[in-house]
Amino acid sequence: MSLLTYQDARPWARAIKEKVAKREMPPWYIDKNIGITDFKDDPSLSDADIATITKWVDDGAPQGNPADMPPPRQFSDVDQWHIGKPDVVVSMKKPYILPAAGPDNIVDVLVDPGFTEDMYVMAVESKPADPRSFKVVHHFTTNLIEDQEDDPIGLFFNEYALGKNGDIFPPNSGRLIKAGSKINFNLHLNPRGEETPVTVQLGFKVFPKGVVPKYVAFTQHMGDSNELDIPAGQVVRHDGYFRLPQPALVASFQPHMHNRGKAMCMEAIYPDVRADSARPGPARTETLSCVSNYQFGWHITYPYADNVAPLLPAGTIVHITAWHDNTANNKYNPNPRNWVGYGQRSIDEMSFAWVTITYLDEADYQQRVQARQSQ
Ligand code: HEM
């Protein structure tokens, strides 16, 4: 459906009220009442916006005076990327032909984009290249292969899953792509009743030539819990942990679960201030973020605003808590009568967070802590 004009939107008035009042639309499921609340590119509505929309619907969704109406927003090619217009786009050279039926297909496609010079990436986004491909792509990952003989698997670079936006690294942080690197696309595809040519693409923005960012930013799994045990008809909690070997700046949080995912929180468990302290009682902990209404259809990366992005000392344990709802109350549950465990298919489950981080040295960390304190 289109919501561009009054005529388009009017028939949807009741549904619009319901979706915005429950904060199901626009898609943005971070809990606004827990932990950090400032994000880059936060499209969510304020309470006042929601009250305006609700009142408009309750008043019969009137058009008002057409002369007061702003012109409809014009969309351009740039709007097709969450990170803005990419400097470089790498696509599969030819489509992979996905059969009409059969099991999930997991396919590797290696592309040599012919990079002749080193580049530092400041923002990256992966997505299917056309509407037909969007329908069948469950998710895909991209790896950078610097030397095919030496390391054929390469380094993880970026992920796309249903509803995903892009990853924007913090200021002065980047990811090096060496000249000659190849890109491996690892595709997980679901046949959906018709033979489908699938193409996916990777877009990124780079630092100007000659500019070398001071920090390395990268995205990785944290808090994986692979021994999932989710009995039929129950809501179950699992926990996973990742210990930061160095001080770190956390740029973003993206929960990853499947259809039974209900909520996920990320907490910092701080190390003791002194190695020899015999401080009694529990460790100091702080909840950084929660997605309390997780939606499998929306794999959104929540990028922290720069002045509040978690700044964590070496030895902090990042604690990921996940809840899965395997009851009939979960309308996306494929089968509430089945036990579920870890697995790749959407009808199996997973539990981890994608976290984008930048490691800092101790002096840099202390300096940033002081700057924050004086803020
Ligand atoms: C204030 C802004 C928005 C309003 C009022 C709104 C309204 C709605 C409504 C009423 C529905 C339910 C349609 C149905 O019942 O069939 C819906 C679904 C949907 N909307 Fe939005 N929407 C907004 C923003 C967005 C944005 C920014 C996106 C894309 C980035 C989006 C993508 C979708 C999609 C894909 C669905 C179907 C899947 C789902 O429900 O998750 N919407 N929206």
CATH number, domain of 164, equals: 2.60.120.230
Q: Which residues contact 224 (CB under 8 A, 6 or more apart)?
A: 240, 351, 352
- Provide the pLDDT for residue 276: 65
Shared domain for 115 and 206, answered yes or no, is yes
Shared domain for 354 and 207, answered yes or no, is no
- Provide the pLDDT for residue 4: 86
Q: Are 311 and 217 within 8 A, CB to CB?
A: no
Residue 235 is assigned to a structural domain of this protein: yes
Residue 60 is assigned to a structural domain of this protein: no
- Provide the pLDDT for residue 72: 83
With a cut of 70, say whether residue 8 has pLDDT above it. Answer: yes
Q: Which residues contact 29 (CB under 8 A, 6 or more apart)?
A: 23, 291, 292, 293, 294, 295, 298, 300
Shared domain for 234 and 368, answered yes or no, is yes
How large is the angle between the packed helices 13-21 and 47-58, nearest 10 degrees?
150
Shared domain for 225 and 205, answered yes or no, is no
Residue of 10, 18, 19, 50 to mutate, ligand 1, most atoms within 8 A of C-beta: 19
C-beta 53 within 6 A of ligand 1: no
Q: Of 347, 105, 354, nearest to 228 (Cα)?
A: 347
Model confidence band, residue 80 (pLDDT cutoffs 50, 70, 90): confident
Shared domain for 177 and 100, answered yes or no, is yes
Shared domain for 237 and 335, answered yes or no, is yes
- Provide the pLDDT for residue 19: 97
Q: What are the DSSP calls for 323-347, one per residue? A: EEE-STT-TT-S-TTS-B-B-SSTT
Residue 9 CA: nearest ligand 1 atom is 5
Shared domain for 119 and 204, answered yes or no, is yes
- Provide the pLDDT for residue 279: 64
With a cut of 90, say whether residue 74 has pLDDT above it. Answer: no
Cα 183 to ligand 1 centre (Å): 33
| Mean pLDDT value across residues 110-133 | 95
Cα 171 from Cα 214, distance rounded (Å) = 9
Q: What is the CA radius of gyration of the chain?
A: 22
Q: Of 317, 300, 269, 309, nearest to 37 (Cα)?
A: 309
Of 213, 240, 266, the domain-final residue: 213
Shared domain for 250 and 191, answered yes or no, is no
Shared domain for 224 and 364, answered yes or no, is yes
- Provide the pLDDT for residue 234: 98
Q: Which residues contact 332 (CB under 8 A, 6 or more apart)?
A: 259, 260, 296
Q: Are 238 and 225 within 8 A, CB to CB?
A: yes
Shared domain for 265 and 123, answered yes or no, is no
Shared domain for 99 and 140, answered yes or no, is yes
Of 195, 213, 231, the domain-final residue: 213
What digits encode the pLDDT tens for the residues 238-290?
999 999 999 999 999 999 999 999 999 999 999 976 666 666 667 889 999 99
What digits encode the pLDDT tens for the residues 304-347?
999 999 999 999 999 999 999 999 999 999 999 999 999 988 89
C-beta 134 within 6 A of ligand 1: no
Please tell me the total count of domains within the chain.
2
- Provide the pLDDT for residue 277: 65
Q: For 165, what's the count of Cα atoms within 13 Å in the CB-facing half-sphere?
A: 20
Residue 27 is assigned to a structural domain of this protein: no
Cα 1 to ligand 1 centre (Å): 9
Of 180, 213, 246, the domain-final residue: 213
What digits encode the pLDDT tens for the residues 9-39?
999 999 999 999 999 999 999 999 999 999 9
C-beta 9 within 6 A of ligand 1: no
| Mean pLDDT value across residues 82-89 | 93
Cα 346 from Cα 24, distance rounded (Å) = 21
Lowest mean pLDDT among 71-80, 192-201, 202-211, 285-294: 71-80
Residue 37 is assigned to a structural domain of this protein: no
Cα 300 from Cα 316, distance rounded (Å) = 25
Residue 13 is assigned to a structural domain of this protein: no
Residue 10 is assigned to a structural domain of this protein: no
| Helix (H/G/I), strand (E/B), else coil: 74 | coil
C-beta 16 within 6 A of ligand 1: yes
Residue 261 is assigned to a structural domain of this protein: yes
- Provide the pLDDT for residue 163: 87
Shared domain for 163 and 293, answered yes or no, is no
Structural domain of residue 232, as residue ranges?
219-374
- Provide the pLDDT for residue 278: 65
Residue 260 is assigned to a structural domain of this protein: yes
